[in-house]
Structure 1
Amino acid sequence: MFSPRELQTRLQRSAGGTALLPADAALCIAFSGGLDSTVLLHSFARLGCYRVRAVHIDHGLHSDSALWREHCEREARALQVEFSSLRVAVTGIDELGLEAAARDARYNAFANELRPGEYLLVGHHADDQLETLLLALMRGAGVLGLSGMQVYEPFAAGALVRPLWDFTRAELEAWARAEGLRWLSDPSNDNLALDRNFVRHRIVAALRERWPAAAQTALRSTQHLQEAWRTLDQLAALDADGIIVEECVDVARLGALNPERRRNLLRYWIRRRGARPPSTRKLAAIEHDMLAASADRVPCVAWDGWEIRRHRGWLYCEQHLPPLDAEQVIDWPSDAPLNLPASLGTLRIAPAESGRLDAAKLPAKLTVRFRAGGETLQPAGHAFHHKLKKLLQAADILPWWRERLPLIYAGKQLVAVGDLWIAAEFVTEPGEPGMTVAWDERPTIVARDRPRT
């Protein structure tokens, strides 16, 4: 049966004798005011050996959300626990669905809120794990998806922990009622149009009639699947040696793996880049397009805000490039930094020992544009003008970045291309101090050399 002391005992046992939460750990409890988070908050506040605070997320999706926030604040204050509330905007509902969009908004807020070294505690329990397993089955998930929620995982500046994961909801409710606790009931939990609610009320309820211990049994299965996933991850780490180099994948060596290990390595690499693994169909498209396309092509496969491209025998996995207005002209007072659009970083004019840009030749206001085609430049140290297209090719600039490089102009004259080249007519005289164009937070724009055969 559940009790705060039993909770602490299991946390110590679950980490092989070492407490999952160190003594005097700083805990941030995700406090919705529902049964699970209420039990979580009261338990850790009563244990007294941790530094506890509560953070409430207001999704703004219900007319009573302000009342829920007030309830949560009263509960936290009564326990003498630090409390804060964050209002989030839930976007992407059409693409992700309401549940997933709200979850993303919630976890993004927690990621920004979590303090260094702090543990985010969430109230997921064994019944939640059973529901997650059943939903994953209906999605046709692989080993990782079927393994469900982890009891511990790195998160933002700290870690995310699910202390209640091997207790059932019935156990938590029995303790809460015995202690006279008060909690909120979200009416949306009864909406059977939402997948998790349908599974909870229709599927899990029926399973329990036949198998009362269904949640605990499913928990054992997910633990076996987590062990299998860790083994696959270890295999991928071994296969990655010599294939993944500085976060790029050697296409030829990838293709030499058998299909099962190749797909396993792709999933491993994609997760390591911070993306969600793609669906089976999308992964098959990645496999086919990246291995089968002719050498002169630069194929691209996109999913969930990420893109994989191939260039010169390497695969690159990057976040989707935001749209860019090719006709945009941006004014730039040269005495101040310029934040570029589309997450391209920041430009500034700065003194530098190796700089050759003559500030005296610059107007007070520059402009920044992007390639329209036909641009020419005589870079400092070159005897002739060159087409910018040829310069970019010779410098091994990745094809998908060539249209996104900031071109710096003084009137109609091209002064510089990012921090790559300065036009000869704007350089200093020999021996004179110079400036440089600094491009802070510059993306990785230069291609890797071809893999060694």
Structure 2
Amino acid sequence: MKAGGNTARESGWPDDLRGPVSSLPDSSRILVALSGGLDSTLLLYVAAACHRNVCALHINHQLQPNHSQTEQFCRSLCERLAVPLLVERVDVAVGESGSGGLEEAARLARYDVFRRVLGAGDLLLMAHHADDQVETVLFRLLRGTGVTGLAGMPESRRLGQGALFRPWLAVSRDRLEQVARDVGLSWVEDPSNTSLAFDRNYLRHAVLPGLKERWPGLLKRVEHSARACAESDTLSHRLAELQWQMCSDSGQLRLASIQALSPLEQRNLVRWWIHRQGLKMPALADWDQSLAELVQAGEDRTPEIRGDGFSLRRYRGYLYLVPNVEVPAHSAGLEPGRTLQWGPWTLRLTPTATTPEAAPPPIRVSTRQGGERLRFEEGGHSRSLKTWLQEQGVPPWERALLPLVYHETPGASELIAVGDLWCSEQYSGSAPAAGWRLIVERDCD
């Protein structure tokens, strides 16, 4: 249910600020990301005037010397507005900032909190404005981004279980400051905002003033260009969705189908596929060449494109997106009543009777070492596991990860299960001969 605010207070704010905030979709709760700066402080005032279900979320990165005073300012402000406040302290280590620098590390920590805190039906409001949008577009342009990045920040998007909204993306920073000063608002300045060591600050203080003076309509022009890029990005995604329906089979891409597409369409489809899995795009100097080598290579070749946490590989006429998987380095015992996690597989041993007559023999789980053989029927001929896996069409990279389950007896070791592909009748079916049922499941089951 949408909750109205104090009518008298709501009417006191100018329409260009109040309108986008008062017209938010229905929500369980509205959280305002409150840093204590001018923009977010003003947004909290307006949101509290327009809605009753408002609370504030302050994330203390503990990076600035005045972080305790800023947190106390937020507490006092929320107490004055009778708005509940949630404070989250995060640790952002300089050594863990990665290639994106400390700014990026702090942003990632911030969004981790957002995703964790947002519940179903919650809205998170952020006070980004038109100047922030221009900074974002220019920053991404200088980093060599494509249309997805040049689309800038979206006005709204899903985040965690809730949604993120930026109601003031069309409002300039000068306008927000004018309103804040007119009503005598107080806020806290972040000492780092004036440091030109940070790329965004350099754009804000050393680049944008001159651009705005030369082109007074800069904010609107960039907004228009960003919107055009967003539309182009949407169409590219829609094309990829349609081509995925034509080229995919059981979650993989048919090479014959993708080879019929132009190089541009191939790249668009593969990038969409990676993005859909929530993975980062590989940093490649030449996407066209790398993808062409992967798609056009002969059947006897095994090219791949490696990304952060995954790889693109081909096998028997299909293109696979393969997440990196870690499995135990050594064999592990499987005990009754306990679940063993083995990469994406889970293994359990359960009795078929309430009170089993006897404990199971030792059960060991391991990966392939080479030379394994399996016997489908007791007393029957054994077969090479390697040959059998090839016949089943199991890709080479999966063969090395499969959990192999062994029934251990004095002086002997019998293979009784191969991942979720096969299990001996001694440990499967409605009445396993061993009196114990082996259950092997994969995460995607």
- TMscore range, shorter length: 0.7 to 0.9
* 2:312 equivalent to 1:308: yes
Cα shift at 1:128: 0.9
The CA distance in 1 between the partners of 2:285 and 2:269, in whole Å, is: 16
Q: Please tell me the root mean square deviation across aligned C-alpha atoms, in Å.
A: 3.1
TM-score by length of 1: 0.83
The CA distance in 2 between the partners of 1:159 and 1:32, in whole Å, is: 19
* 2:360 equivalent to 1:362: yes
**1:15 counterpart residue number:** none
Is the CA contact 1:129–1:148 (under 8 Å) kept in the aligned structure 2?
Answer: yes
Which runs of no fewer than 5 residues in structure 2 stay unpaired? 1-11
CA 1:128–1:391: 2 relative to 1, 3 Å: same
CA 1:442–1:318: 2 relative to 1, 3 Å: same
**2:375 counterpart residue number:** 378
3-state DSSP class of the match of 2:302? coil
Cα shift at 1:129: 0.8
**2:280 counterpart residue number:** 276
Q: Residue type of the partner of 2:246?
A: G
Is the CA contact 1:380–1:427 (under 8 Å) kept in the aligned structure 2?
Answer: no
The CA distance in 2 between the partners of 1:427 and 1:275, in whole Å, is: 37
Is the CA contact 2:337–2:350 (under 8 Å) kept in the aligned structure 1?
Answer: no
In the TM superposition, 1:12-411 aligns within 5 A as 19=23, 21-23=24-26, 26-48=29-51, 50-90=52-92, 92-279=96-283, 281=285, 283-322=287-326, 324-326=327-329, 328-340=330-342, 343-350=343-350, 360=358, 362-363=360-361, 366-379=363-376, 383-411=380-408
Q: Residue type of the partner of 1:81?
A: V
Cα shift at 1:272: 1.9
Is the CA contact 1:31–1:41 (under 8 Å) kept in the aligned structure 2?
Answer: yes
The CA distance in 2 between the partners of 1:209 and 1:89, in whole Å, is: 39
CA 1:138–1:325: 2 relative to 1, 3 Å: same
Which runs of no fewer than 5 residues in structure 1 stay unpaired? 13-18, 445-453
Cα shift at 1:151: 0.6
CA deviations 1:200-223 (Å, max 9, x no partner) are 111112212222332232112211
The CA distance in 2 between the partners of 1:199 and 1:431, in whole Å, is: 70
The CA distance in 2 between the partners of 1:379 and 1:66, in whole Å, is: 68
Is the CA contact 2:27–2:122 (under 8 Å) kept in the aligned structure 1?
Answer: no
Cα shift at 1:325: 5.0
CA 1:309–1:66: 2 relative to 1, 3 Å: farther
Q: Residue type of the partner of 2:344?
A: L
Cα shift at 1:426: 5.8
3-state DSSP class of the match of 2:35? coil
Cα shift at 1:443: 5.0
CA deviations 1:259-307 (Å, max 9, x no partner) are 2222222222222222234456353354123212221333221223332
CA deviations 1:72-109 (Å, max 9, x no partner) are 23322332223223333447423332222222222122
3-state DSSP class of the match of 1:333? coil
Cα shift at 1:180: 2.9
The CA distance in 2 between the partners of 1:278 and 1:269, in whole Å, is: 12
Q: Residue type of the partner of 1:136?
A: R
Q: Residue type of the partner of 1:118?
A: D
**1:6 counterpart residue number:** 16
Cα shift at 1:405: 1.9
| Deviates most, 190-199 or 312-321 | 312-321
Q: Residue type of the partner of 1:336?
A: R
Cα shift at 1:127: 0.6
CA deviations 1:129-159 (Å, max 9, x no partner) are 1011111211222221111111112222122
**2:443 counterpart residue number:** 442
| Deviates most, 383-392 or 107-116 | 383-392
The CA distance in 2 between the partners of 1:359 and 1:310, in whole Å, is: 48
CA deviations 1:39-73 (Å, max 9, x no partner) are 2222111112x522222223343444344333323
The structure with the largest alpha-carbon Rg is 2
Aligned length, in residue pairs: 426
| Deviates most, 121-130 or 77-86 | 77-86
3-state DSSP class of the match of 2:239? helix
